[in-house]
């Protein structure tokens, strides 16, 4: 029920109504004064997904797309899938089930990469056109481009030095926008929320604005956005001492 309610708020762009109503009441009580001082800082928001290592990530991405295709085109997938696919992707890819040695893990990564490439080639050459439009299929292409390199018609597992920047990588197939980030000593996968509060010494410190972004957005890049948001809320003065 709460999830559906939140979705309706977002769909109607009404997520700020409660905060705006509260701020109007606080201004009427003179707890927020015109031209008061404000400051902005950010904190992390965890995505509702597990943190996956590289091998888990490719395995779960392929498993997710196979589950979606099984709904859209079950007979087509049944004709394509090998018996090994059922054993390899029927259950969640967990680290405790994966090989322990580096050589064996790299071999499994290569096998998963080959399975994903076979699936993508089948979709491109003899598949159902609608499959190429599935979000899970598009994500599979992106994850494979991030984690593998194609050479002479074959794909291989990227070495660490060949990997794109961690902040640009898809972290989970179940939340394509969640990103790895670090702020001071805190590391996380998810998002970032930028909170603006009043900071006059004679009044309580109150939240006046919130902005949620990708976890990789630098705090300095948000200053203009925060000022504009505060202006639209008819604040008498933009943030001072933003940091």
Mean pLDDT of 108-112: 95
Q: What is the reported pLDDT for 240?
A: 41
Looking at the structure, do residues 116 and 157 belong to the same domain, yes or no?
yes
Domain boundary among 168, 201, 218: 168
Looking at the structure, do residues 163 and 185 belong to the same domain, yes or no?
no
Which backbone phi and psi does 31 adopt, to 5 degrees? -85, -20
Q: Could you tell me if residue 132 is inside a domain? A: yes
Q: What is the reported pLDDT for 243?
A: 40
Looking at the structure, do residues 42 and 74 belong to the same domain, yes or no?
no
Instruction: Determine contact, residues 71/137, Cβ cutoff 8 Å.
Output: no
Mean pLDDT of 187-204: 93
Token look-up 């956005």 returns: 225
Q: What is the reported pLDDT for 229?
A: 86
204 has pLDDT over 70: yes
Which tokens belong to 63?
A: 């498993």
Residue 39 CA to residue 55 CA, distance in Å, equals 42
Which tokens belong to 133?
A: 């439009």
Q: Of 28-37, 60-69, 132-141, 156-165, which range is least confident?
A: 28-37
Which band of pLDDT confidence, cut at 50, 70 and 90, is reported for residue 242?
very low
Average confidence score pLDDT of the chain: 89
Domain hosting residue 32, numbered range: 16-47+179-232
Looking at the structure, do residues 73 and 40 belong to the same domain, yes or no?
no
235 has pLDDT over 70: no
Question: What is the total count of domains within the chain?
Answer: 2
Q: What is the reported pLDDT for 238?
A: 39
Q: What is the reported pLDDT for 234?
A: 61
**What tens digit of pLDDT does each residue of 115-159 get?**
999 999 999 998 788 899 999 999 999 999 999 999 888 899 999
**What tens digit of pLDDT does each residue of 212-233 get?**
999 999 999 998 999 888 887 7
Instruction: Assign residue 6 a region (left: φ > 0; alpha: ψ between -120 and 50; beta: otherwise).
Output: alpha
Percent of the chain whose pLDDT exceeds 90: 66
Instruction: Determine contact, residues 140/120, Cβ cutoff 8 Å.
Output: yes
Which backbone phi and psi does 197 adopt, to 5 degrees? -135, 155
Q: What is the reported pLDDT for 54?
A: 94
The strand pairing partners of 238, in sequence order, are none
Mean pLDDT of 202-217: 92
């Amino acid at each position: 029920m709460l999830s559906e309610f939140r979705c309706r708020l977002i769909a109607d762009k009404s997520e700020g109504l409660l905060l705006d109503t509260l701020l109007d009441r606080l201004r009427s009580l003179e707890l927020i004064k015109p031209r008061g001082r404000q400051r902005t800082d950010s904190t992390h928001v965890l995505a509702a997904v597990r943190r996956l290592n590289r091998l888990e990530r490719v395995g779960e991405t392929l498993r997710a797309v196979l589950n979606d295709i099984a709904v859209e085109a079950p007979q087509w997938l049944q004709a394509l899938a090998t018996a090994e696919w059922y054993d390899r992707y029927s259950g969640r890819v967990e680290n405790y089930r994966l090989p322990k040695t580096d050589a064996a893990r790299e071999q499994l990564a290569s096998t998963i990469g080959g399975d994903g490439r076979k699936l993508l080639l089948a979709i491109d050459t003899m598949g159902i056109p609608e499959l190429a439009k599935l979000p899970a299929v598009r994500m599979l292409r992106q994850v494979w481009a991030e984690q593998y390199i194609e050479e002479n018609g074959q794909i291989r597992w990227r070495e660490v030095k060949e990997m794109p920047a961690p902040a640009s990588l898809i972290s989970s197939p179940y939340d394509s926008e969640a990103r790895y980030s670090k702020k001071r000593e805190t590391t996380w996968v998810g998002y970032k929320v930028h909170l603006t509060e009043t900071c006059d010494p004679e009044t309580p410190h109150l939240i006046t604005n919130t902005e949620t972004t990708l976890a990789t957005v630098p705090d300095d890049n948000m200053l203009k956005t925060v000022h504009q948001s505060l202006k639209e809320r008819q604040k008498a003065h933009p943030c001072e001492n933003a940091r």
